[in-house]
Amino acid sequence: MTHTTPSDCAIKILSWNNPWLQLPEDFYQIVQPTPLDNPYFIHCNTHTSALLGLSAEQLHNEATLHFFNGHQLPPEIQPTASIYAGHQFGIFTAQLGDGRVLSLGEALGHEDHRYEIQLKGAGLTPYSRTLDGRCPLGSAIREYLGSEALAGLNIPTSRALCLLGSDTKVQRDYLTTGAMLVRMARSHIRFGHFEYFHHKGDFENVKNLTTFVIEQHFPELLNEPTDLRPLRLLEAIVERTACLIADWQSEGFTHGVVNTDNMSVLGDTLDFGPFGFMETYNPEFSANSSDDLARYQFDQQPEIGRWNCLALAEAISSLLPSRTIPAKLLRLYRQHYHQRYLQHLRLKLGLRTQHPDDTQLVEVLLTTLQQGNTDYALFFRHLANFNTQDKNPALYALTTDAAKLSAWLTLYQDRLSLEHVSPQERQKQMNQVNPCTVLRRHLLDQSINDAERGDFTAFYRLLMLLQNPFEEQIGMAFYSQPEQEE
């Protein structure tokens, strides 16, 4: 790490502004972080620092370390914790809020893009309830790898900027290391921020927040008549949510806690808790072991996304012109969802044109994968090598139901004959969208277990692969494979 003067530190280079301070004080409290003891960098992410226009050296230095550890922040930085509510597992909780997260504000990055930078694990806030305001190292690594994996797959998400370890201990099932995750997103405003004010009957602040979100993030809506803007905002959020969940479904990502307080109004993936990537295709895959009613299992996500949009519609209803809007929203959500999902699957299948039978082709494929206990990611990766002149042993090795696979491959072959693309060209295109590395559970667990023992090698290697998931790296085949039985 470079020992630099404070003038090289991220704080001095970036231009900061905390947008929360433009809202009435009902929305947030200014809270100073509680620094961790003896902090050290575990990782600095050059992919995201580049988005901020920061070089690796400008991020990886002593002054920046202490800045992100929240040590004596300069007066121009006023960290905020915001208040929100949320439907958790379908049940409304009237008050939640940033219990272990502080917003340092927005930094102006490359091409004038703005990113809200947050510290996760920065100590108690007025919204910590009975919890400790800290982030255990294992959770921080989960979020770091989860968010970078989605970004690698080009799925909208918050990003990880850097990770700090420390000598501070936090108690969970066992005593573990306290970490600080520095994360960034275009915004961390959640459906739950609207719900908090609506369910309190504070419609003035619902209006303030609506105006704020439009001005900050949907400026194109300022061209709409004033009274229609909240409806247009809702429609835009519905579209982004439907598209986000379609992206998750196409890559087998299961968030695990799709509560309204974890839903971004910008359609980014937020808050990585018990998430998981589906390996063997199984629509009932659940990533969250405490989700007893299977509310958030893989195949429920599209419907839950729609349910959450209706909760948001209710939270904005005081500003909407008519009570009949939810029915329209429902249609809108499903339309966007199906369009995006099919578009994504066509790309994964190497289809450039559209055909009316494509929905059926996908449906039969999913049944085939399920009945054949097939690994989802590996199947698409190997499908790029499908060759009608060949017996395709690599594909058949992935299924326990060869007859079913053979029937689907016949359909696929017929469909490909309408495409007029050379097999080489199709293979190239498919390998650009079908990852060879996905964040498999055993790889994630190994990274966390090793990190908790102070060995970050597995974490670094996995991160590097997930940030380039479409490239086959020499000697790294182990990372593409499901866990091998002993």
Binding of residue 106 to Mg ion (CB under 5 A): no
With H, G, I as helix, E, B as strand and everything else as coil, classify residue 344.
helix
Looking at the Cβ atoms of 101 and 433, the one nearer to ligand AMP is 101
In the complex, least distance from residue 166 CB atom to ligand AMP, rounded to whole angstroms: 15
Residues near Mg ion (CB under 5 A), total: 2
Distance between CA 268 and CA 82 in Å, rounded? 18
Which range of residues in 34-42, 269-277, 389-397, 472-480 is near Mg ion by CB under 5 A?
Answer: 269-277
Closest CA relative to residue 398, chosen from 385, 413, 412: 385
Residue from 261, 271, 375, 401 carrying the catalytic annotation: 261
Contact 245, 307 (CB under 8 A): no
Phi-psi region of 366 (alpha: psi -120 to 50; beta: other; left: phi over 0): alpha
Residue 29 partner contact from Mg ion, ligand AMP, none using kind-dependent CB cut-offs of 5 to 8 Å: none
Binding test (CB under 5 A) with Mg ion, winner from 80, 82, 103, 262: 262
H-only helix segments in 153-271? 191-199, 203-217, 229-251
Tokens of 65: 């370390």
The footprint of ligand AMP (CB under 6 A) covers: 96-100, 128, 131-134, 257, 262, 271, 273
In the complex, least distance from residue 243 CB atom to ligand AMP, rounded to whole angstroms: 22
Give phi and psi for 324, each to the nearest 5: -85, 5
Residue 98 partner contact from Mg ion, ligand AMP, none using kind-dependent CB cut-offs of 5 to 8 Å: ligand AMP
- Is residue 261 part of the annotated active site? The answer reads yes
Displacement of CA 17 from its chain's centroid (Å): 24
In the complex, least distance from residue 259 CB atom to Mg ion, rounded to whole angstroms: 7
Looking at the Cβ atoms of 160 and 325, the one nearer to ligand AMP is 160
Binding of residue 264 to Mg ion (CB under 5 A): no
Binding of residue 158 to Mg ion (CB under 5 A): no
Q: What crossing angle do the helices spanning 402-416 and 358-371 adopt, rounded to 10°?
A: 160
Q: What crossing angle do the helices spanning 301-316 and 325-349 adopt, rounded to 10°?
A: 150
Looking at the Cβ atoms of 98 and 401, the one nearer to ligand AMP is 98
Q: How many helices (H) and strands (E) does the chain have?
A: 17, 14
Looking at the Cβ atoms of 128 and 318, the one nearer to ligand AMP is 128
Residue 66 partner contact from ligand AMP, Mg ion, none using kind-dependent CB cut-offs of 5 to 8 Å: none
User: Which residues on adjacent β-strands are paired with residue 176?
Assistant: 170
Chain position whose Cβ is nearest to ligand AMP: 99
Looking at the Cβ atoms of 274 and 326, the one nearer to Mg ion is 274
Phi-psi region of 14 (alpha: psi -120 to 50; beta: other; left: phi over 0): beta
In the complex, least distance from residue 125 CB atom to Mg ion, rounded to whole angstroms: 13
In the complex, least distance from residue 272 CB atom to ligand AMP, rounded to whole angstroms: 9
Q: Quick one: 415 exposed, middle or buried, by C-beta within 10 A (0-12, 13-18, 19+)?
A: middle
433-444 per-residue burial string, b: 16 or more CB within 10 A, e: under 16: bbbbbbbbeebb
Residue 239 partner contact from ligand AMP, Mg ion, none using kind-dependent CB cut-offs of 5 to 8 Å: none
In the complex, least distance from residue 297 CB atom to ligand AMP, rounded to whole angstroms: 18
Residue 53 partner contact from Mg ion, ligand AMP, none using kind-dependent CB cut-offs of 5 to 8 Å: none
By the criterion CB under 5 A, which residues form the site for Mg ion? Answer: 262, 271
- Hey, which residues are catalytic here? 261
